[in-house]
């Protein structure tokens, strides 16, 4: 059992090291954060979505923006698409692949940002959401674990964090990227919260 624990931790460490050494991915993280900052500066909002564990990450991202990440500051406009009644209604009436796109259609506005999480980069429900967001004039930021997948063509910024053959390692990197987004947003709007931290 101990060997399994150390193997798992080493694998996670290697995935993070690979991301640190991936200049293209680092640049895409910066570009995505700038999209979010620009939208919030203009009084727009952020919608986030994902399936399974990625939905949990999308919810965590939104609540850290509307609540608190590290220190107190005003709330930022963010909504995770996770309303159970909406999702069950749409899944029943239109099919699960439309649960996110219908919400984007209802609440998305030009200039908003959709942060879409898909470890595979080809989830039908996320693809439909990205398509709808584009039609509305929203920016689309995708977090994925695979390159050259359909979602890449539907995104303004495609943050790819390859981390092995299973989704859990990709999700671990996604939550790190989402935390970086929040920190960069806070550093932009409330730099005083980081006066005593490393730059």
For the chain, the first-to-last Cα distance in angstroms comes to 39
| 74-127 confidence digits (pLDDT tens) | 999 999 999 999 999 999 999 999 999 999 999 999 999 999 999 998 999 999
Q: What burial letters (b/e) apply to 139-168, b meaning 16+ CB within 10 Å?
A: bbbbbbbbeebbbeebbbbbbbbbbeeebe
Asked whether the predicted pLDDT for residue 163 surpasses 90, the reply is: no
Q: Can you list the domains of the chain with their CATH numbers?
A: 14-187 (3.40.50.10490)
pLDDT recorded at residue 147: 87
pLDDT band at 198 (very low <50, low <70, confident <90, very high): low
Q: What pTM was computed for the model?
A: 0.94
Asked whether the predicted pLDDT for residue 164 surpasses 90, the reply is: no
pLDDT band at 197 (very low <50, low <70, confident <90, very high): low
Mean pLDDT over the full length of the chain:
95
Strands (E), 81-174: 113-118, 139-144, 157-160
pLDDT recorded at residue 166: 81
What 3-state class would DSSP assign to 81? Answer: coil
What average pLDDT does the segment 46-71 reach? 97
User: Which residue in this structure is represented by tokens 């399974």?
Assistant: 52
């Amino acid at each position: 059992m101990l060997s399994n624990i150390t193997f798992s931790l080493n694998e996670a460490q290697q995935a993070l090291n690979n991301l640190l050494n991936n200049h293209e991915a680092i640049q895409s993280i910066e570009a995505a954060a700038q999209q979010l900052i620009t939208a919030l500066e203009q009084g727009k909002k952020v919608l986030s979505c994902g399936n399974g564990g990625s939905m949990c990450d999308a919810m965590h991202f939104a609540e850290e923006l509307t609540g608190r990440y590290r220190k107190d500051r005003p709330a930022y406009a963010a909504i995770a698409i996770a309303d159970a009644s909406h999702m069950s209604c749409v899944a029943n009436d239109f099919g699960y692949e439309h649960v996110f796109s219908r919400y984007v259609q209802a609440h998305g506005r030009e200039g908003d940002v959709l942060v879409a999480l898909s470890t595979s980069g080809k989830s039908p429900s996320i693809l439909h959401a990205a398509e709808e967001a584009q039609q509305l004039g929203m920016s689309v930021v995708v977090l994925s674990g695979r390159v050259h997948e359909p979602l890449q063509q539907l995104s303004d910024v495609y943050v790819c964090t390859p981390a092995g053959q299973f989704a859990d390692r990709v999700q671990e990197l996604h939550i790190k990227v989402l935390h970086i987004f929040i920190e960069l947003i806070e550093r932009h709007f409330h730099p005083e919260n980081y006066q005593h931290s490393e730059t």
